[in-house]
Amino acid sequence: MGKNFGTEYVFLILCGVFFCGLFYWGKKSLRIAGLCFLVGLSLPFLRDPLWDDGFNGRYVKVEGRVERVFQKGENQKLLLQGEKMNGAAVREKFYIRGVTTEYVPGEKISVEGFFRSPRAQKNPYLFDEQNYIRSLGAAGSIQAENISSLECVHWKLKGHLYVLSRLREFSRTTENLLQRSMLGYGEGDFDALREIGLAHILAASGFHLGLLSFFFLHFLLFSGLGKRQASIWTVLVLWLYGAFIGFPPGLLRSLVMFTLLIFSVPFRKRYDALDALCIAAWISLFINPWWLFQPAFLLSYGGTACLLILYPALQAWGVHKILALPLSVALGLLPWQLHFFGQWNPWTILANILFLPFFMVAFIGAFLYLIFGFIPLLGSILKFFVEQSSGIFLILSKDAAELPGRISTAAWNLPLIIVYFILLYLLFSPATRQWQVKKSWRKFLVTGTLFLCAAPCFQILYPPFVLRHIAIGQGDTALIQGSYNLMVDTGGEQ
């Protein structure tokens, strides 16, 4: 993709200033250096429009390697790292639609179809295709007309085929759950997990990396390695796993934070989780600034930031640490869940406490089965525990999703989300907590009043989008209500 001349050099200078602030300046200067992050963040958006080089709307033939798989089944979608386009060498990525044959990452294929540059969506209530394609790092999309496989011996292809073959030894439901959680793609209907607030386990994220790091680190320590050697080997294994599944935003965040934690000891640097989170955000957005438009990026970084900030505040308020952990994440992700999905389930907090241990057993057991499953007795024991724990997890999640109490509302807009986080800060800031030790009723009165005053204003500025169907006899009528009112009559021919 083209860039405006000089933009990349200014961005690299600001990057250097930021990292100098991290390692050589004081705490106050570090916050000032953070402004370089905000300024530098806007510079990559000055890039030229997405590359098409005159191919928009034309029939093209692209050869390349599958980098990511987004959905398996009849309507599979792929992210293809192009190598040749109409016989000429390219280095662009392409979003492939309409794939009817199942492919895995690392497989080399040839795709023929019509190339289309993504178009921006001006209606804020509808899907913005341009930002989504950009967030994938792709030049555009291709509606596949013909796809053929090419000879390939890539290590990632061999690894995915091995994992998929071993997971097929489980039941169909368990196989689909493990594919989604370990590889980031798969089949299966897991609507119950989305409704109960456990959808984060369906994509490889920081939660999965935390489980793997805990397991591998303690396994190596138990085998007799020293703490430093075990930590280094754990970091290498985790980065290899990240490369294996394609470094999704949430996983890359966890990899950077965990690596900084491990290497802060030999360099005698105090590890600050919030600073590590900022460094991970810098690296992620330097790679692809349009990740900002991915729900996975916002949910991952938003949930982690609220965990680091709200968890100590909730404990200071006397909330038990077992409850404070999921509660801090739930409070932080509430506005984003209402923005992206339009609903929130209060049973999410208890589900993360009571149900996740069963999934953790299945996840770790599945990795052990991939390594030691060839041993007859040990493989049978691991398979039994994985089947039972995953089955219990899915049954409990399905029953909990049917409980009443789910909150559905119009999608929150950005100003309302900002007001929510301001109120959250007023509730849990240290100054507020000290002021309200004896007069806690004032806090709820003030914040509640601010919220009630602010919410109607944003509803007036950004009225909800409502679509009503009215049966009038000859044909149906659609009434669209938003910032304007529009009635569409679909009556007879007369």
Interval 11-26: pLDDT, tens: 555 555 555 555 444 4
167-219 pLDDT, tens per residue? 999 998 999 899 888 888 877 778 888 788 888 888 878 888 888 888 888 88
The pLDDT of 299-317, averaged and rounded, is 84
Please state, in angstroms and rounded to a whole number, the distance separating the CA atoms of residues 344 and 330: 9
Candidate from 159-173, 236-250, 459-473, 475-489 with smallest mean pLDDT: 459-473
Return the pLDDT at 74.
Answer: 64
Residues with Cβ within 8 Å of 3's Cβ and at least 6 positions away in sequence, in order, are 46, 47, 48
Residue 405 CA: distances (Å) to CA of 285, 336, 345, 409: 37, 19, 7, 13
Return the pLDDT at 15.
Answer: 55
Q: Return the structure tokens found at 191.
A: 């609507």
Please state, in angstroms and rounded to a whole number, the distance separating the CA atoms of residues 298 and 199: 15
Q: Return the structure tokens found at 286.
A: 């330097």
Return the pLDDT at 359.
Answer: 92
Please state, in angstroms and rounded to a whole number, the distance separating the CA atoms of residues 46 and 254: 28
| pTM beyond 0.85 | no
Residues with Cβ within 8 Å of 138's Cβ and at least 6 positions away in sequence, in order, are 79, 92, 93, 94, 95
Q: Is the pLDDT of residue 381 over 90?
A: yes
> Residue 470: which pLDDT band, with cuts at 50, 70 and 90?
low
Please state, in angstroms and rounded to a whole number, the distance separating the CA atoms of residues 102 and 109: 12
Q: Is the pLDDT of residue 457 over 60?
A: no
- Bridge partners of 489, per DSSP, are 477
> Residue 466: which pLDDT band, with cuts at 50, 70 and 90?
low
Q: What is the mean pLDDT of the chain?
A: 76
Please state, in angstroms and rounded to a whole number, the distance separating the CA atoms of residues 77 and 144: 10
Apex 381 CA angle, 380 and 385, nearest 5: 115
Distance of CA 347 to the CA centre of its chain: 21
Return the pLDDT at 63.
Answer: 92
> Residue 364: which pLDDT band, with cuts at 50, 70 and 90?
very high
Is pLDDT larger for residue 492 or for residue 76? Answer: 76
- Furthest C-alpha separation in the chain: 86
**Which residue, among 206, 290, 308, has the nearest Cα to 247 in the 3D structure?**
206
CA-based R_g, the chain, Å: 25
The pLDDT of 317-330, averaged and rounded, is 84
Q: Is the pLDDT of residue 437 over 60?
A: no
Return the pLDDT at 260.
Answer: 86
φ, ψ of residue 9 in degrees (nearest 5):
-70, -40
Return the pLDDT at 476.
Answer: 64
Return the pLDDT at 48.
Answer: 44
Candidate from 222-231, 343-352, 433-442, 469-478 with smallest mean pLDDT: 433-442
> Residue 366: which pLDDT band, with cuts at 50, 70 and 90?
very high
**Which residue, among 133, 136, 146, has the nearest Cα to 56 in the 3D structure?**
133
Calculate what percentage of the chain has a pLDDT beyond 90. Answer: 11
Distance of CA 209 to the CA centre of its chain: 13
Q: Is the pLDDT of residue 327 over 90?
A: no
Contact (CB, 8 A) for 115 and 142: yes
Return the pLDDT at 453.
Answer: 47
The pLDDT of 342-368, averaged and rounded, is 87
Q: Is the pLDDT of residue 387 over 90?
A: yes
Give the highest mean pLDDT range of 110-114, 153-157, 427-431. 110-114
**Which residue, among 189, 301, 176, has the nearest Cα to 248 in the 3D structure?**
301
Please state, in angstroms and rounded to a whole number, the distance separating the CA atoms of residues 280 and 273: 10
Please name the helix (run of DSSP H) or strand (run of DSSP E) that holds residue 8, with its range, or none: helix 7-24
Q: Is 137 left (phi over 0), alpha (psi -120 to 50) or beta?
A: left
